[in-house]
Amino acid sequence: MGDGDGFCVGQTADPHEWIEVRLADFNAPELHTPGGPAAKAVLERLAFQREVVCTSERGRGGRVRSFDRVIARCRIGGASLGDLLRQAGVAEGGN
């Protein structure tokens, strides 16, 4: 897991096969700012070792990558991970 709006997905336990994803529909506080560690903890609780389905999207600049991460809308059991983070009370406000 990266931070409160980024994590890795993969179909195997081999981290060399994982893809780093940045949520398209949620912008968490940066890890080193207030709320950042809490956002990461909630994302871990919601998504760790769960089946997550992600679909890539274009970001604000029209690109599907943000730094080294793929921008994607991700769902768990049909529910948007961004919405689940909001429902859990995670504040938005990162860069």
Segment 19-47 shows an average pLDDT of 93
- Is the dihedral angle over the CA atoms 69, 32, 87, 47 positive or is it negative? positive
Report the pLDDT averaged over residues 8-19.
Answer: 91
Overall average pLDDT of the 12-38 stretch: 92
Domain 6-87 has CATH 1.10.3720.10: no
> Please, which pLDDT band fits residue 1 given cuts at 50, 70 and 90?
low
Minimal CA–CA distance to 22: which of 42, 38, 5? Answer: 5
Q: Is the pLDDT of residue 57 over 60?
A: yes
pTM assigned to the model = 0.85
